[in-house]
Amino acid sequence: MTLGTSIFLSVLLLGTVFLFIATKDRWNWKKIILWMLSLMVVLFAIGAGVTYLYLSLRDQPKVQDSFWDITLKMSKADIKLLKGEPDKVVGETDQRWSYYIKDDLNKVTSLYEIQFKGDVIQFVVYININAIFSPYLQGITVNSTLNDINSRFGGECRFEAPHNMLGRIIICKKYHVVFVLEKDSVKMLGIFNPGYEEFLGSNWGNESNIDNQGHSSTQEANHK
């Protein structure tokens, strides 16, 4: 407690005492005190209720249309302006862009991949290779489990099993988020455009599988 605060509290206490002495025969201090206590209880209850409501709403799943500062409405030009040229591009019209995240030794530890349909984003995903820290997506991150996802989204998601992938894709269409699990552990996470949801299903394994793409991209980048 600072000297200024101490002086203020002392003056406030002395002022209250002097006021009581000067008015104790004219004012009903019992009612005043009861009224002040009641007001404090009401204000505390309102504050607690507002805080509880805020925390409850904050922890509810929500529609996710942005990830890594990229929104699903961005064009290729918008992304290049924001993130620069991608480290790797696969495809001609329907391209997949890779952005490498490297450590101090210039080794790729993770990457972000953006899949396009023409100029429209289909999905933006994060792939962890061996990074220590990973981004969170609505409370879910790399190494979260299926139980974590179910607890978070309450059964609002469905499963896919691409034939060229080991593991499961969990698609939460209502919230535009997708997770890829291997051995009950999240390995990839991201957002998708619900207009192109079918790409996240069994066809995912047919086109430059993200897992294989991520690892091959990493090997290629690390050997440059």
Entry pTM:
0.68
Q: What is the pLDDT of residue 52?
A: 72
pLDDT in tens, 117-148: 899 999 999 999 988 889 999 999 999 999 99
Pick 165 or 194 by higher pLDDT: 194
**How confident is the prediction for the chain on average, in pLDDT?**
81
User: What's the CA gap between 79 and 71, in Å, rounded?
Assistant: 9
Q: Is residue 171 scored above 80 in pLDDT?
A: yes
101 and 83 Cβ atoms separated by less than 8 Å: no
pLDDT in tens, 161-170: 664 566 788 8
